[in-house]
Amino acid sequence: MESHPHSKALSMSALLLISTWLHGGPSFLTPPDSSQGYRISREVSLVVLPVSVTDREGRFVSGLDASNFRIYDEGHPVQVTLFQRDDIPVTAGLVVDRSESMAAQSQEVLEGSMAFVQSRNPQDMEFVINFNDRVSLGLPANIPFTNNVEKLKTALAFPRASGETALYDAIVAGLGHLQEGQADKKVLILISDGGDNASKHDFVQVVQMAQTLHVPIYAVGLLDPSDADQRPDILKGLSRQTGGEADSPSTPAGVVRVCQKIASNIRHSYTLGYTPTPDRQGGYRKIRVEVMATGGERLFVRTRTRYFLPRTPSSDFFAHEGQHQ
């Protein structure tokens, strides 16, 4: 099977991140100083939560501040130490299913992807991962990220949908590449039918990696009722457990609307963070976020409901967030 002419292998830093995750436990990429690039280290880190707030009509609520939010970790209130509410730049990865089962939806894939690209913050930086049984980056080797619409459109112009489906491997590749981005806020947008029959990784590995790297996954399900291998439940699970959203539009126009909605959600979300208490046992910990409007209006919160704290042998621990409410 021929690969996309603009594809390239994962960079060494992305491979190092994934290798460290698989063989030595989770690690965190700390921001570069003036003399070096990103480095992998084990340092005390925040639980970082993307939080969307809507009113009864489903409209996004802006203008809230840290005092409007309460966070509970395993039922205990914690102090909010990170709060952002601006439309800050995002590093986003479009992970696009090009397997045989998606052949009939090729045009919807392109139109939906471009709807997202054209609706995002102009300062966002993006990349494309195309996958079937192989996983490849869509941009040229010398362009890891771009906000150029034409370059992204070219990256999405996969020659032909064919082959089996390595969905989980593609997400792992996307998470690895995403960590090279400079923006604090990072997301993945997955366009697929949810099936997987060719990956070396599995659902649990992918969810834990996304949770540890605090990356929400937004899934757009393009489904064919006659396809027995499609898994909309997987798309919902990936999104729910990482703090994203999942939708399965039934028309081409619906695909465009869903992708525009995802872009709007990302731009309107708050970012909250706190430092959890170390736990040598590790594992999942429950989290709850409440929001209170100054005028008493009932508001609705969408965020994770737990996070994964890897087991550590000492008080120097590493933690990140978990699921979708």
**Residue pLDDT, tens place only, 10-63:** 444 444 444 444 443 333 333 333 333 323 233 446 788 888 898 888 888 888
**Residue pLDDT, tens place only, 183-230:** 878 999 999 999 999 999 999 999 988 988 889 999 999 988 777 789
Q: What is the CA radius of gyration of the chain?
A: 19
- How far is CA 81 from each of CA 32, 105, 111, 275, 290, rounded to the nearest angstrom? 22, 44, 39, 7, 16
- Output the pTM of the full model: 0.78
In the chain, the domains with their CATH numbers are 12-23+88-268 (3.40.50.410)
Above pLDDT 90, what percent of the chain?
Answer: 46
> Which residue, among 238, 175, 244, 141, has the nearest Cα to 29 in the 3D structure?
175
Contact 171, 204 (CB under 8 A): no
Tokens 């706190």 locate to 274
* 288 contacts: CB under 8 Å, gap ≥ 6: 71, 72, 75, 305, 325
